[in-house]
């Protein structure tokens, strides 16, 4: 199954402004979510395919993906990353969604060995959760790296997500080397 050849062009509409709160109960209505996926160990493309194939089982539906991007590692030495952005809808609240994403990382071979950046088979980050702003010890949404990683900005724009201020986008585009790594997924 090649998840990188399918495209879904319908844009996800955002719901009304929602307050920032955490609860473990499912959200009644579906919420638009945007995720970052990356890998720089092993068969990077296959790692991304496996993660994308597992997302519907985690409660993320109507999944669509950006192009693949090959990016240099930031804050560490190692192989270049293969990255993409995925968009979908979920009925899960942010904290349970984060827990499921971290469990999938573990299942696919990622081991968190303390602070700092390290090479990894898979990295899954929650970039945006509807139009909510969340700031806790375990989760920050919008993800703080959005304005620092060009592939995130390109992928989010490609999928119709709300973007940060244009000055932030321009600065990120100038700072980071990003190379398209093949066709659309």
**Global pTM value:** 0.72
| Residue range 31-184 in CATH 1.10.150.20 | no
Q: Which of 36, 85, 88, 84 is nearest to 63 (CA)?
A: 88
pLDDT at 93 over 80: yes
Nearest Cα neighbor of 138 from 91, 97, 92 is: 97
**Kind of pairing, strands 134-135 and 60-65?**
unpaired
Copy the structure tokens of residue 12.
């996800």
> Token pair for residue 171?
């600065």
Identify the residue with better confidence: 9 or 124: 124
User: Taking a C-beta distance cutoff of 8 angstroms, is the pair 154, 178 a contact?
Assistant: yes
CA nearest neighbour of 134 among 20, 18, 14: 20
Query: What residues are paired with 69 via a beta bridge?
Result: 83, 180
Per-residue pLDDT band for 6 (boundaries 50, 70, 90) equals very low
Is 38 within 8 Å of 121 (Cβ atoms)?
no
Q: Which pLDDT does position 179 carry in this prediction?
A: 54
Residues labelled as active-site residues: 110, 120, 123, 125
pLDDT category at 23 given cuts 50, 70, 90 is very low
pLDDT tens per residue, range 111-165: 666 555 667 889 999 999 988 888 888 888 888 888 888 888 999 999 988 875 5
**Extents of the domains making up the chain:** 31-184
**CA 100 to CA 57: how far, in whole Å?**
10
DSSP string of 147-181, one letter each residue? GG-HHHHHHHHHTT-----HHHHHHHHHH--EEEE
Residue 48: predicted pLDDT: 95
> Could you check whether the bond before residue 142 is cis, i.e. omega within 30 degrees of 0?
yes
26-76 confidence digits (pLDDT tens) = 445 899 999 999 999 999 999 999 999 999 999 999 999 999 999 988 877
């Amino acid at each position: 199954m090649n998840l990188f050849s399918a495209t879904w062009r319908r844009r996800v509409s955002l719901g009304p402004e929602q307050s920032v709160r955490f609860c473990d109960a499912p959200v009644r209505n579906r919420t638009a979510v945007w995720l970052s996926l990356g890998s720089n160990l092993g068969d990077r493309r296959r790692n991304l395919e496996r993660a994308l194939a597992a997302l519907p089982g985690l409660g993320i539906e109507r999944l669509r993906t950006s192009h693949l991007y090959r990016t240099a590692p930031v804050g560490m030495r190692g192989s270049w990353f293969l990255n993409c952005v995925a968009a979908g809808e979920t009925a899960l609240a942010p904290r349970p969604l984060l827990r499921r994403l971290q469990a999938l990382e573990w299942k696919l071979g990622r081991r968190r060995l303390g602070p700092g950046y390290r090479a990894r088979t898979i990295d899954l980050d929650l970039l945006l959760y509807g139009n909510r702003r969340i700031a806790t010890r375990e989760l920050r949404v919008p993800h703080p790296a959005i304005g620092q990683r060009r592939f995130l900005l390109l992928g989010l724009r490609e999928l119709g997500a709300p973007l940060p201020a244009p000055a932030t986008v321009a600065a990120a585009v100038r700072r980071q080397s990003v190379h398209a790594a093949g066709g659309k997924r």
